[in-house]
Structure 1
Amino acid sequence: MKEINFFDKKSLIIAEVGINHNGNIAIALELVEKAAKAGADVIKFQTLSPETNFNLTDKDNKLYRFFKKTTFSLKEYQQIKKKAEKERIIFMSSAADVPSARLLYKLGIPGIKLSSSNFTNFHLISELAKYNLPLILSSGMATIKEMKQTYDFLIKLKVKKFAFLYCLVEYPTQFENINFKIMEKMRQLFSIPVGFSDHTLGITAAFVARAKGACIIEKHFTLDRKLLGPDQEISLEPDELRKLVLGVRDIEAMLFANKPRINSEKKIEILKTRRSLYAFRDLEKGKVIEFDDIAAKRPYNKKGIDPRNYMTIIGKKTQQLIKRNQLIRKGIF
Structure 2
Amino acid sequence: MYKNKKMPVIVAELSGNHNGSLNRAIELMELAHECGADAVKIQTYTENSLTLDSDRPEFKLEGGLWGGQTYYELYKKAKTPREWMKPLFNHAKAHGIFLFSSPFSYEDVDCLEEAGCPVYKIASYELNDIGLIDYCASKGKPMVMSTGLATLEEIDRAVDVVRKSGIEDLTLLHCESRYPADPEKFNLNSIPYLKERYQCRSGLSNHAIGDELDIAATALGADMIEKHFTDDKKNGGVDSAFSMEMNDLIKLVKDCKMVAKSLGVKGIHLQEDEYPMRAGRRSIYLVQELKKGEILSKEHVRSVRPALGLEPYLLNEVLGKKAKFDLKEKTPLKQDDFE
Instruction: Name the TM-score, length of structure 1 as normaliser.
Output: 0.81
- Counterparts of 1:175 and 1:137 in 2: how far apart (Å)? 21
1:332 corresponds to which residue? Answer: 337
Deviation at 1:198, TM superposition (A): 1.0
Instruction: Find the partner of 2:326 among 318, 321, 331.
Output: 321
Instruction: Find the partner of 2:310 among 301, 305, 319.
Output: 305
- Counterparts of 1:32 and 1:79 in 2: how far apart (Å)? 12
- Counterparts of 1:265 and 1:19 in 2: how far apart (Å)? 50
Q: Does 1:289 align with 2:289?
A: no
Matched AA of 1:315: G
Q: Does 1:154 align with 2:162?
A: yes
| Greater mean alpha carbon deviation, residues 227-236 or residues 68-77 | 68-77
Deviation at 1:108, TM superposition (A): 0.8
SS of equivalent to 2:111: helix
Contact 1:15 1:44 in 2 (8 A): yes
Counting only pairs closer than 5 Å after superposition, residues 41-120 of structure 1 correspond to structure 2 as 41-55=38-52, 64=72, 67-68=75-76, 71-72=79-80, 76-85=84-93, 88-120=96-128
- Counterparts of 1:263 and 1:157 in 2: how far apart (Å)? 43
Q: Measured at CA, do residues 319 and 259 of structure 1 come closer, stay the same or move farther in structure 2, by a change above 3 Å?
A: closer
- Counterparts of 2:212 and 2:108 in 1: how far apart (Å)? 33
Matched AA of 1:195: G
Contact 2:49 2:104 in 1 (8 A): no
| Greater mean alpha carbon deviation, residues 193-202 or residues 310-319 | 310-319
Instruction: Find the partner of 2:227 among 202, 215, 219.
Output: 219
1:252 corresponds to which residue? Answer: 260
Contact 2:39 2:99 in 1 (8 A): yes
- Counterparts of 1:129 and 1:48 in 2: how far apart (Å)? 18
Deviation at 1:170, TM superposition (A): 0.8
Contact 2:215 2:259 in 1 (8 A): yes
| Greater mean alpha carbon deviation, residues 67-76 or residues 269-278 | 67-76
What does the per-residue CA deviation read over 1:245-265, in whole Å, with 9 as the maximum and x for residues that have no partner? 233223323435478954665
Contact 2:43 2:80 in 1 (8 A): no
1:279 corresponds to which residue? Answer: 286
Q: Which runs of 4+ in 1 moved over 6 A?
A: none
Contact 1:74 1:107 in 2 (8 A): no
SS of equivalent to 2:233: coil
What does the per-residue CA deviation read over 1:119-175, in whole Å, with 9 as the maximum and x for residues that have no partner? 222343343233211121222232223223323333444444333322132111112
Deviation at 1:91, TM superposition (A): 0.7
Matched AA of 1:48: Y
| Greater mean alpha carbon deviation, residues 155-164 or residues 127-136 | 155-164
Instruction: Name the TM-score, length of structure 2 as normaliser.
Output: 0.80
- Counterparts of 1:184 and 1:262 in 2: how far apart (Å)? 26
Matched AA of 2:100: M
- Counterparts of 2:268 and 2:254 in 1: how far apart (Å)? 21
SS of equivalent to 2:277: helix
- Counterparts of 2:190 and 2:287 in 1: how far apart (Å)? 60
Contact 1:40 1:89 in 2 (8 A): no
Q: Percentage identity across aligned positions?
A: 28
Q: Does 1:10 align with 2:7?
A: yes
Unaligned runs of 5+ residues in structure 1 are none
Q: Does 1:178 align with 2:183?
A: no
Instruction: Find the partner of 1:32 among 29, 32, 35.
Output: 29
- Counterparts of 1:158 and 1:320 in 2: how far apart (Å)? 75
Q: Measured at CA, do residues 297 and 169 of structure 1 come closer, stay the same or move farther in structure 2, by a change above 3 Å?
A: closer
- Counterparts of 2:84 and 2:280 in 1: how far apart (Å)? 62
Unaligned runs of 5+ residues in structure 2 are 61-68
Matched AA of 1:46: Q
Instruction: Find the partner of 2:243 among 221, 235, 248.
Output: 235
Deviation at 1:37, TM superposition (A): 3.3
Deviation at 1:298, TM superposition (A): 4.7
Contact 1:223 1:237 in 2 (8 A): yes
1:208 corresponds to which residue? Answer: 216
Q: Measured at CA, do residues 246 and 277 of structure 1 come closer, stay the same or move farther in structure 2, by a change above 3 Å?
A: same
Q: Measured at CA, do residues 260 and 111 of structure 1 come closer, stay the same or move farther in structure 2, by a change above 3 Å?
A: farther
Contact 1:32 1:83 in 2 (8 A): no
